Chain A
Amino acid sequence: MLTILQLYWSFCKIGFTSFGGLSMIPLISSEMLSHGWMSASEVSDIVALAEMTPGPLGLNCATFAGIRVTGLLGALAANFGILTPTFTICAVAALFFERFKQSDILKGIMIGVRPVCIGLIWAVILNLGVSNYFADWTPQWGSMLVAVVGAYLLIRRKWSVPAVIVLAAVLGILVC
């Protein structure tokens, strides 16, 4: 029981102090090592596994760590730990956002925030592009081909995202 609470608390801290993605890794690593829940090589295993499977990195790490330490209950506790900011800070933000959406000030703020958010999404795309289509600056033609086919199907043929992802997995086996 104590371990489950500790797992919850560790991932709760990780959730509150991180803003998504890879920024969680150092924290996860120090939490896991300090409790003796995992070795350093297991931590890099989690990151690899969490990166390659569907699901956000933080939640995947929580599940992996939870199961390794105490089983399914631990995984649930760790998942709820990492979601605590969502159910607290974000829940309050949702309340305020819905209430003040029509106010001039919030409307003004969003006029500045929307372009920033789009800029950040472009940064994600460019970052992914560099790491997925070039390995040490060698072009990965197979991956580029998959990307072109995917873009065509999504934008021109209006395929759904899951369908394109499944096709990309098949194409990956064939051409990558």
Chain B
Amino acid sequence: MKNLKKAFSLYWYFFRIGWFTFGGGWSIVAQMQKDYVEARHEIEGQELLDIVSVGRSLPGTMIGNVAYLFGYHMAGVLGGILSVLGIITPPLIILSVLTVFYNNVKDNVLIAKALVGVRAVVAPVILSAVLKLHKGAFPQKLCFVLCGVSCLLSLFFHISCVLLVVLGILSGLLMNHHQKGGKTPC
């Protein structure tokens, strides 16, 4: 019963922030970080980062996966489903309306300018989240190398994120193995 109430409150939460999904869903991650990690302390920054890592590496839309994993973590299967439905409702409404008025919207100068502004702010939005997520994500020096290498590989060689996550999994296993072998890593 408590979960049921929580699941519906998740729907409402994601419905409210779903209107502001920009930058491929990263703005939502940033807002979740502010609300659930910083303000309510209901989830650790690292747990959110884990959810994002897993959601990002599975097929499908990232933010759908992230919403499901987060909802499931908070309130079970129903929480997952309602979180996804919550996050997709606003885009569904907006796009349905826009598709009808597409020709009027396409050439509107004011809308185009407003969108240039919105696009300009997406990078700082993601930045504000990633700065917070850094905390605790680098327990070993090797982690910094891993972070830098995957950033460069993705930027300049367009290596798919799935491959990079596999690289992360293997390095994680190796680092773990080393630690167990009694050697101090790095």
> What is the interface of chain A, defined by CB distance below 8 A to chain B?
15-21, 45, 48-50, 52-60, 63-64, 67-68, 72, 75-76, 79, 82-87, 89-91, 93-95, 97-98, 104-105, 107-129, 132-133, 140, 142-144, 146-148, 150-151, 154-155, 158, 160-162, 164-165, 167-173, 175-176
On whether A112 and B20 interact (CB within 8 A), knowing A147-B123, A165-B121, A169-B118, the answer reads no
B96 CB to nearest A CB, Å = 6
Q: Are A142 and B116 in contact (CB under 8 A)?
A: yes
Which residues on B sit within 8 Å (CB–CB) of A90? 55, 58, 60, 64-65, 68-69
**Cβ of B54 < 8 Å from any Cβ of A?**
yes
Q: Are B117 and A119 in contact (CB under 8 A)?
A: no
Can you list 24 pairs linking A and B with CB atoms under 8 Å apart?
A19-B161, A45-B106, A49-B99, A50-B95, A52-B111, A54-B19, A55-B88, A55-B92, A55-B94, A59-B91, A79-B88, A86-B61, A94-B68, A109-B169, A112-B169, A113-B165, A114-B143, A150-B120, A151-B128, A161-B27, A161-B31, A161-B125, A168-B117, A169-B115
* In the bound complex, CA of A15 to CA of B102 (Å): 25
Q: Are B96 and A104 in contact (CB under 8 A)?
A: no
